[in-house]
């Protein structure tokens, strides 16, 4: 049986997309009877614990812990990972935003990533990314050979489906952590400029950093929303808007599609890899473009093609692709 | 090998205004983006098929014979992975299919179409919509009609709004010469040409009316109305006008009058807006959804209301021109093609 060591420390952090990815990976691997899963983690979500974990545990302790468990493969599901490894090492890099747009990250993440990410990429035997766009970015920014990078698109599944209870009210929904990269200023401005006076803007997302606030007339910030409630919000929304300035994948766009709700997303990569011909495309740096996109999306009804397309992106498929990769590296 | 998609493009070159514009623009915009498939257009006019799309010539003297025999035979030869039709899937074709439904005017308002055509449409369109794997509707209104009249499952209907051709744009000049209101559409009762003429009689001054479009089942009635109201000097029947000529007619017009009684989309509304021309239209069918708040909308079949609308449009020209240009920007044939290709790819 294949023994896989998986770093589960990121579960303590509240990065929405990463947590979703890791949760599905854990559930899927637990069910896979050909895989013996070992969870590896250290410390909690306190700031001090985080710094110790980042500076000591990942670089020095994690690989030793994995060795004690006698795993065949070690998988670090975020860019935090050992800087060298005798064990076959898989690292998931969700995006290289921290190197492309360092100004949109806090100081610690920015400095830590600039130092360690190139070495982590070097140490990894395989790098998993969620889109072909991210693959090209990783190859370019981290100078790793293309053959080392595997594209395994993210997934979507229950409770994010087209059928089911929907939240009440007339609203546009935005789902993202409140941080500068998510472009909330333009999003709110675009919403207010769209003239959609009968609608409110509901924002679901944990507080991030950088003093990002969402406020204004008809703007509501919802916190502590669980997945079932989020699924109801997706289904009940007149439209979903997602205008992040840089993303490796953009999971809320796929979740909106799966819910059959019209979605506004930036034109081009990586969204065109899964939402082409479905999303209402905008230029996220242009407030008028966002406003127009919203008007178009709101005027359109349910999106059956989005539901169909999203069905191609199951988490089972993603988990299976990971298991295949582990086997390949262990052999 | 790339999968083959056959598009029934019989409307090319047949002066079928909206439907023809749709087919030509769709093929043109599909060509550069359909890089993973081969697209064949089945047409009687292969020279009108844009580069990047393979023409397949199929002559047709009778539409019924073509649908019953010619088209199925062509499809048996082509053996496409998917076929895309306008309104009707030939009964003898058994493969995967998509249809585009432009409007269900023949259901909503029985008087708007000749009895024979209406019988054929009502026989074949509902069957085809049920048969097809996906139905493309050009507007939310047409989608609603498909659900309400035929009980088609919403999950099967994809709304792919029409676009507007770049040839329709302002050229910075203000119209010269005696002012005219422009009517664009087949001269048939559904488009309300008589309402436009009656409204003109109620508008004082030297405003003229130019009607552009082939005379269908309404030519005589229109001529009688012109004579009855003594408007021979103020109304001109210009017949069918090609794209470029139409573009300059739009640009030169004081406003578009679009007194339609039912529309699945209403392309002239957008074309006029894109040309920088104020629009007076009705609240019929999909028109409100296509016109947004950038037009003056009045009740259909009411000449007095239309005349009021025309006066308003002339008085409020500047605002309507700016709003129309802005609004029309959100419709493009490239977007139509992207959404259509996404639908094809779901079935391949």
Instruction: Decide: residue A103, CB within 10 A, 0-12 exposed, 13-18 middle, 19+ buried.
Output: exposed
Model confidence pLDDT, tens digit, residues A45-75 = 777 788 888 888 998 899 999 999 999 999 9
Are residues B155 and A162, on separate chains, in Cβ contact within 8 Å? yes
From the list B161, B293, B342, the residue facing A305 with the nearest CB is B342
- What pLDDT score does B219 carry? 86
pTM beyond 0.90: the answer is no
Name the closest residue on chain B to residue A309, using Cα atoms: B346
Rounded average pLDDT over A143-162: 95
**For chain A, how many residues are written?**
331
Give yes or no for A301 touching B (CB within 8 A): yes
Q: Tell me if the domain spanning A2-155+314-330 has CATH number 3.40.50.80.
A: no
Question: What is the location of CATH 3.40.50.2000 in chain B?
Answer: 4-163+332-347, 180-328
Model confidence pLDDT, tens digit, residues A172-201 = 999 988 888 889 999 999 999 998 989 999
DSSP helix/strand/coil, B298: strand
Are residues B340 and A277, on separate chains, in Cβ contact within 8 Å? yes
Answer yes or no: is pLDDT of A212 > 80. no
- What pLDDT score does A180 carry? 81
Are residues B155 and A304, on separate chains, in Cβ contact within 8 Å? yes
Residue boundaries of the structural domains of chain A: 2-155+314-330, 171-310
Answer yes or no: is pLDDT of A42 > 90. no
Across chain A, what does the average pLDDT equal? 92
- What pLDDT score does A12 carry? 75
* Window 231-250 of A, Cβ < 8 Å to B: none
Rounded average pLDDT over A295-314: 91
- What pLDDT score does A15 carry? 65
Are residues B342 and A307, on separate chains, in Cβ contact within 8 Å? no
User: pLDDT-based confidence at A109, cuts 50/70/90?
Assistant: confident
pLDDT tens digits for chain B (348 residues)?
899 999 999 999 887 778 899 999 999 999 999 999 999 999 999 999 999 999 999 988 888 888 888 999 999 999 999 999 999 999 889 999 999 999 998 887 777 677 888 888 898 999 999 999 999 999 999 999 999 999 999 999 999 999 999 999 998 777 778 899 999 998 988 899 999 999 999 998 889 999 999 887 788 999 999 999 999 999 999 999 988 899 999 999 999 999 999 999 999 999 999 999 999 999 999 999 999 999 999 999 999 999 999 999 999 999 999 999 999 998 999 999 999 999 999 999
- What pLDDT score does B153 carry? 94
Name the closest residue on chain B to residue A295, using Cα atoms: B330
- What pLDDT score does A14 carry? 60
Are residues A301 and B159, on separate chains, in Cβ contact within 8 Å? yes
- What pLDDT score does A59 carry? 86
ipTM of the complex, rounded to two decimals = 0.73
Are residues A304 and B329, on separate chains, in Cβ contact within 8 Å? no
Are residues A277 and B341, on separate chains, in Cβ contact within 8 Å? yes
Instruction: Decide: residue A257, CB within 10 A, 0-12 exposed, 13-18 middle, 19+ buried.
Output: buried
The yes-or-no answer to whether A2-155+314-330 and A171-310 have a common fold is yes
Interface size, chain A vs chain B, as Cβ–Cβ contacts under 8 Å: 45
CATH class of B4-163+332-347: alpha beta
More confident residue, A207 or B202: B202
- What pLDDT score does B201 carry? 95
Give A-chain residues touching B134 at CB under 8 angstroms: 305
Q: Which of A238, A294, A304 to mutate to test the interface with B (most CBs of B within 10 A)?
A: A304
Answer yes or no: is pLDDT of A300 > 90. no
Give yes or no for A51 touching B (CB within 8 A): no
Are residues B343 and A162, on separate chains, in Cβ contact within 8 Å? no
- What pLDDT score does B13 carry? 86
Give B-chain residues touching A308 at CB under 8 angstroms: 346
Answer yes or no: is pLDDT of A5 > 80. yes
- Looking at chain A, the number of H-run helices and the number of E-run strands are 12, 12
- Please name the fold of domain A171-310: Rossmann fold (3.40.50)
CATH code of the domain occupying B180-328 = 3.40.50.2000
């Amino acid at each position: 049986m294949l023994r896989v060591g998986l770093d589960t420390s990121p579960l303590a952090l509240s990065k929405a997309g990463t947590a979703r990815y890791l949760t599905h990976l854990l559930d899927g691997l637990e069910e896979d009877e050909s895989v013996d899963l070992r969870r590896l983690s250290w410390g909690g979500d306190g700031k001090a614990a985080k710094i110790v974990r980042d500076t000591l545990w990942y670089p020095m302790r994690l690989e030793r812990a994995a060795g004690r468990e006698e795993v065949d493969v070690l998988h670090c599901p975020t860019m935090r990972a050992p800087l060298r490894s005798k064990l076959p090492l898989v690292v998931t890099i969700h995006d290289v935003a921290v190197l492309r747009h360092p100004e949109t990250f806090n100081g610690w993440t920015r400095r830590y990533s600039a130092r360690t990410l190139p070495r982590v990429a070097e140490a990894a035997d395989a790098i998993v990314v969620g889109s072909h766009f991210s693959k090209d970015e990783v190859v370019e920014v981290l100078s790793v050979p293309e053959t080392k990078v595997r594209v395994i698109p993210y997934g979507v599944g229950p409770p994010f489906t087209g059928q089911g209870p929907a939240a009440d009210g007339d609203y546009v929904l935005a789902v993202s952590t409140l941080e500068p990269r998510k472009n909330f200023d333009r999003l709110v401005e675009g919403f207010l400029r769209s003239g959609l006076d009968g609608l409110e803007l509901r924002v679901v997302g944990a507080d991030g950093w950088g003093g990002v606030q969402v406020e204004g007339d008809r703007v509501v910030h919802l916190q502590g929303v669980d997945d079932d409630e989020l699924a109801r919000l997706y289904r009940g929304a007149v439209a979903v808007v997602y205008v992040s300035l840089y993303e490796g994948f953009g999971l809320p766009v796929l979740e909106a599609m799966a819910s059959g709700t019209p979605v506004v997303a930036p034109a081009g990569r990586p969204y065109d890899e899964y939402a082409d011909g479905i999303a209402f495309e905008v230029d996220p740096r242009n407030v008028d473009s966002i406003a127009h996109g919203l008007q178009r999306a709101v005027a359109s009804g349910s999106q059956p093609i989005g539901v169909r397309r999203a069905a191609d992106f199951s988490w089972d498929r993603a988990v299976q692709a990971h298991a295949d990769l582990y086997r390949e590296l262990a052999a | 090998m790339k999968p083959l998609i056959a598009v029934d493009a019989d409307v090319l070159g047949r002066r079928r205004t909206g439907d023809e514009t749709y087919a030509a623009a769709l093929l043109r915009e599909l060509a550069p983006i359909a890089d993973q498939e081969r697209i064949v257009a089945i047409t009687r006019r292969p020279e009108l098929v844009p580069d990047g799309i393979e023409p397949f010539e199929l002559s047709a003297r009778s539409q019924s014979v073509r649908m019953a025999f010619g088209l199925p035979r062509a499809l048996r030869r082509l053996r496409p992975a998917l076929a895309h039709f306008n309104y009707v899937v030939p009964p003898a074709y058994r493969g995967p299919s998509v249809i585009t439904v432009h409007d269900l005017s023949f259901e909503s308002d029985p008087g708007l179409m000749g009895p024979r055509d209406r019988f054929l449409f009502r026989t074949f369109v509902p069957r085809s919509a049920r048969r097809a794997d996906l139905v493309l509707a050009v507007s939310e209104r047409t989608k609603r009609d498909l659900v309400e009249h035929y009980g088609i499952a919403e999950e099967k209907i994809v709304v792919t709004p029409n676009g507007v051709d770049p040839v329709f744009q302002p050229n910075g000049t203000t119209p010269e010469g005696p002012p005219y209101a422009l009517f664009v559409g087949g001269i048939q009762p559904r488009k309300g040409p008589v309402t436009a003429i009656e409204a003109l009689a109620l508008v004082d001054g030297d405003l003229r009316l130019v009607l552009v479009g082939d005379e269908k089942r309404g030519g005589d009635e229109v001529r009688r109305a012109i004579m009855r109201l003594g408007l021979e000097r103020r109304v001109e029947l210009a017949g069918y006008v090609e794209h470029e000529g139409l573009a300059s007619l739009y640009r030169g017009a004081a406003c578009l009058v679009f007194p339609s009684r039912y529309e699945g989309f209403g392309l002239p509304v957008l074309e006029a807006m894109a040309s920088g021309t104020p629009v007076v239209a009705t609240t019929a069918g999909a028109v409100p959804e296509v016109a947004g708040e950038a037009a003056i909308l009045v009740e259909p079949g009411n000449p007095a209301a239309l005349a009021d609308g025309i006066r308003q449009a002339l008085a409020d020209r500047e605002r309507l021109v700016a709003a129309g240009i802005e609004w029309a920007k959100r419709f493009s044939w490239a977007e139509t093609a992207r959404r259509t290709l996404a639908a094809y790819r779901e079935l391949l």
